[in-house]
């Protein structure tokens, strides 16, 4: 009887490939945020999609597919970083910098430096809140933590970023010397 239920679930759901296709750009951006390298980000997304495909029958509410896949990508990226794989820091190409002022470039590079120094959980909070526009409640559900905990962690993380950015970065010396 169980195989028949599983078969019915598969037939009544949209194909996994269709759902992933809608999310692929977001999944890549999340992976890139962590590993800061195109090739590693593609590897992370590929591995996450395989993991998601294997577990697709177990997801109970397809309304949460996007959050579920994002969580798989984040965990896969963190696993890759823990394995000690070399991470190439992100540096915008000169073509992306056309029209930017020197101050804008330096601030942007300083921000990337600060973000790369954060713990993975702190990066996750900032990415979900400010890059993907998740609400505090959505982040709390996503990370399986109370809303108050998320608010406090987000507040501390933002304070850490602000303090480092106000202090000024070292990027100016590196960029123009």
Any idea which fold 1-88 has?
Rna Polymerase Sigma Factor; Chain: A (1.10.1740)
- What is the pTM (predicted TM-score) of this model? 0.56
Tokens, residue 79: 């696993």
Does position 175 have pLDDT exceeding 80, yes or no? no
Query: Alpha-carbon distance 84 to 57, whole Å?
Result: 32
The per-residue pLDDT for 95 is: 41
Residue 4 has a pLDDT of: 52
Q: Is the pLDDT at 3 greater than 80, yes or no?
A: no
Helix segments in 36-101, DSSP class H: 38-55, 65-82
> How many whole angstroms separate alpha carbon 95 and alpha carbon 74?
29
CA–CA gap between residue 150 and residue 156 (Å, rounded): 10
Can you give the pLDDT at residue 174? 45
Outline which parts of the chain fall under CATH 1.10.1740.10.
1-88
Q: Assign 1 a pLDDT band (cuts: 50, 70, 90).
A: very low
Confidence of residue 10 (pLDDT cuts 50, 70, 90): low
Task: Look over the chain and give the mean of its residue pLDDT values, rounded to a whole number.
Answer: 76
At which residue do the structure tokens 């590929």 appear?
46
Task: Report pLDDT digits (tens) over 99-154.
Answer: 555 555 555 556 667 777 788 888 888 888 887 788 898 888 888 899 999 999 99
Q: What is the pLDDT of residue 17?
A: 93
Q: Long-range contacts for 125-131 (Cβ within 8 Å, ≥24 apart)?
A: 125/150, 125/153, 125/154, 125/157, 126/154, 126/157, 126/158, 126/161, 127/30, 127/33, 128/70, 129/154, 131/29, 131/33
Asked if residue 110 lies in contact with residue 117, where contact means CB atoms within 8 angstroms, the answer is no
Tell me what pLDDT residue 55 has.
92
Domain 92-177 belongs to what architecture?
Orthogonal Bundle (1.10)
What average pLDDT does range 8-36 have in this prediction?
84
Q: Where does CATH 1.10.10.10 sit in the chain?
A: 92-177
Q: Is pLDDT of 91 > 80?
A: no
**Inter-CA distances, 57 with 61, 64, 69, 165, Å:** 10, 13, 13, 45
């Amino acid at each position: 009887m169980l195989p028949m239920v599983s078969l019915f679930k598969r037939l009544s759901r949209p194909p996994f490939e269709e759902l992933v296709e809608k999310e692929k750009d977001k999944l890549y951006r999340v992976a890139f945020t962590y590993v800061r390298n195109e090739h590693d980000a593609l590897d992370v997304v590929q591995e996450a999609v395989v993991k998601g495909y294997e577990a697709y029958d177990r997801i109970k509410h397809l309304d949460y597919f996007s959050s579920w896949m994002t969580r798989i990508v984040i965990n896969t990226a963190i696993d890759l970083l823990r394995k000690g794989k070399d991470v190439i820091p992100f540096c915008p190409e000169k073509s992306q910098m056309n029209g930017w002022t020197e101050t804008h470039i330096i601030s942007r590079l300083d921000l990337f430096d600060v973000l790369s120094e954060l713990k993975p959980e702190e990066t996750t909070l900032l990415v979900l809140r400010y890059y993907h526009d998740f609400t505090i409640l959505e982040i709390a559900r996503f990370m399986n933590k109370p809303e108050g905990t998320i608010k406090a962690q987000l507040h501390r993380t933002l304070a850490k970023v602000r303090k480092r950015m106000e202090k000024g970065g070292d990027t100016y010396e590196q960029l123009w010397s």
